């Protein structure tokens, strides 16, 4: 297993989808199928469980006609049920191209889950994507973490300067910037069940913003230090992986991305109505630090990281 950066629970609850971070396109990664009952895992894409052929009618941009294949280098991900009842799995990809890859997830009762590539969405120019959410109508919303072609690149964000923002793609209109979403190393993203709000993790600004998609404005904000990814808990709270980040520790940890990093982290539960938060878990050191996501499921919490070779499983 390589750096399981983001997690999605497959309908039925017996499996998780893990996206293996390959740095920022520095090396390939895979989408893993993780069995909740026996904690086994295997590659789902690229692999025998994924159809490699291109669809007759791509679901994303018309110019995206070929699957990423073995060049795939995943980052953030999101599983959404479309209006027609099908399940769409979105994965940020830095390998071979910068894009949001679109998969259909099949969940037949008599077979293991399988993925079929259906197209991709290309971002605006000069974009390094971090995370993504999908809507029932097929629209895609993604965070731009920074402008990779600029002179300072990600250093601009590390210095606490504005570097990122949030964009929305639709089949008819393409990509459009969501006004008022500028931030420093704009990171994780989640969407409310009614699709009225998104929650934006502005990593270096140390805050999480509640954004009204209809009004196109920020309607709430709360301090959360270095929030990476988010996941909904069964009770309706939004769980955030908050890292004890500093540049020196980050540089030391990333010298060898295959080695587990002990960077301290907290899991923070956020009430999406009041925007009040509370710390529910803290950890530092072995067996794993540098958490990127905490996904509560059944009687456990599954915690991923952008470094190392493991998934942390914590009983609730």
Each residue's pLDDT tens digit, 23-43: 887 889 999 999 999 999 999
Q: Is the pLDDT of residue 247 over 80?
A: no
- Amino acid 233: pLDDT: 97
Query: 0.85 exceeded by the pTM?
Result: yes
- Amino acid 203: pLDDT: 96
| Mean pLDDT within 246-260 | 78
Report the topology of domain 4-235. Neuraminidase (2.120.10)
Predicted confidence band of residue 48 (pLDDT cuts 50, 70, 90)? low
Evaluate the CA torsion angle 311, 52, 14, 9 in order and state its sign: positive
Assess contact for 80 and 133: CB atoms under 8 A.
yes
Q: Where in the chain is the domain with CATH 2.120.10.30?
A: 4-235
Name which residue leads in pLDDT, 56 or 303. Answer: 303
Query: pLDDT tens across 270-312, in order?
Result: 999 999 999 999 999 899 888 999 999 999 999 999 988 899 9
| Mean pLDDT within 178-197 | 98
Predicted confidence band of residue 202 (pLDDT cuts 50, 70, 90)? very high
| Mean pLDDT within 118-140 | 98
Question: Rounded to whole angstroms, what are the CA distances from 2 to 48, 129, 154, 254?
Answer: 19, 20, 23, 14
Choose among 38, 21, 28: nearest CA to 112: 38
| Mean pLDDT within 261-271 | 93
Q: What percent of the chain has pLDDT over 90?
A: 79
């Amino acid at each position: 297993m390589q750096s399981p950066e983001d997690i999605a629970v497959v309908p039925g609850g017996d499996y998780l989808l893990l996206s293996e971070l390959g740095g920022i396109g520095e090396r390939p990664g895979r989408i893993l199928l993780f069995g909740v009952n026996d904690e086994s895992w295997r590659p789902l894409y690229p692999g025998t469980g994924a159809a490699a052929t291109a669809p007759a009618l791509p679901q994303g941009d018309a110019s995206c006609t070929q699957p990423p294949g073995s060049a795939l280098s995943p980052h953030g991900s999101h599983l959404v049920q479309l209006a027609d009842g099908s399940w769409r799995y979105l994965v940020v990809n830095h390998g071979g191209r910068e894009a949001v890859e679109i998969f259909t997830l099949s969940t037949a009762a008599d077979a293991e889950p399988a993925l079929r590539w259906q197209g991709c969405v290309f971002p605006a120019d000069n974009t390094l994507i971090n995370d993504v959410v999908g809507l029932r109508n097929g629209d895609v919303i993604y965070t731009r973490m920074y402008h990779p072609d600029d002179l300072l690149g990600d250093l601009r964000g590390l210095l606490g300067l504005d570097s990122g923002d949030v964009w929305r793609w639709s089949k008819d209109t393409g990509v459009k910037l969501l006004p008022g979403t500028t931030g420093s190393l704009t990171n994780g993203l989640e969407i409310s069940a009614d699709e009225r709000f998104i929650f934006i993790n502005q990593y270096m600004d140390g805050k999480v913003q509640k954004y009204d998609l209809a009004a196109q404005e920020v309607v709430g904000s709360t301090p959360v230090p270095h929030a990476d990814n988010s996941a909904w808990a069964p009770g309706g709270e939004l769980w955030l992986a908050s890292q004890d980040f500093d540049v020196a520790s980050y540089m030391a940890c990333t010298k060898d991305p295959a080695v587990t990093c002990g960077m301290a982290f907290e899991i923070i539960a956020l009430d999406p109505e009041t925007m009040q938060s509370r710390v529910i878990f803290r950890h530092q050191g072995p067996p794993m630090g540098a958490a990127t996501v905490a996904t509560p499921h059944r009687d456990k919490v599954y915690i991923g990281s952008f470094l190392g070779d493991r998934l942390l499983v914590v009983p609730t």
